[in-house]
């Protein structure tokens, strides 16, 4: 399953996520702070969706959210 998530309130504009059998296979942030979003993506890949949601939900940078929080919000749609 590939999910395209339009972000809100952060520098990145979109997150493209590939999930297979509850595991995040690939994450790609469109725009954003290049080093940070690449790091977040690499740390998320290979982990269970629920683990990423638990670890990244609520992290704030600006506007009450962050790129990690937006990734968690996108993945909540997978487990809902």
pLDDT tens-digit readout, 36-80: 999 999 999 999 999 999 999 999 998 999 999 999 999 998 876
Which two three-digit tokens encode residue 63?
Answer: 């506007």
pTM for this structure?
0.95
How many structural domains compose the chain?
Answer: 1
d(CA 32, CA 12): 4
pLDDT digits (tens, 9 = 90+) for 21-38: 999 999 999 999 999 999
- The stretch 8-13 carries a mean pLDDT of 96
What pLDDT, on a 0 to 100 scale, did the predictor assign at position 13? 97
Give the residue numbers spanning the domain of 24: 2-79
Which pLDDT score is estimated for 30?
98
Cα dihedral 19→25→51→32 (10° resolution): -100
Q: What is the secondary structure of 26-56 as a DSSP string?
A: EEEEESS-HHHHHHHHHHHTTSBHHHHHHHH
57: which residues sit within 8 A by CB, 6+ positions away? 69, 72, 73
């Amino acid at each position: 399953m590939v999910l395209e998530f339009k972000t809100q309130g952060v520098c990145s504009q979109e997150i493209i996520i590939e999930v297979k059998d509850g595991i995040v296979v690939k994450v790609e942030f469109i725009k954003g702070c290049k080093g940070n979003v690449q790091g977040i993506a690499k740390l998320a890949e290979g982990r269970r969706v629920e683990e990423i949601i638990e670890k990244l939900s609520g992290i704030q940078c600006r506007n009450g959210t962050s790129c990690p929080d937006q990734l968690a919000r996108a993945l909540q749609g997978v487990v809902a």
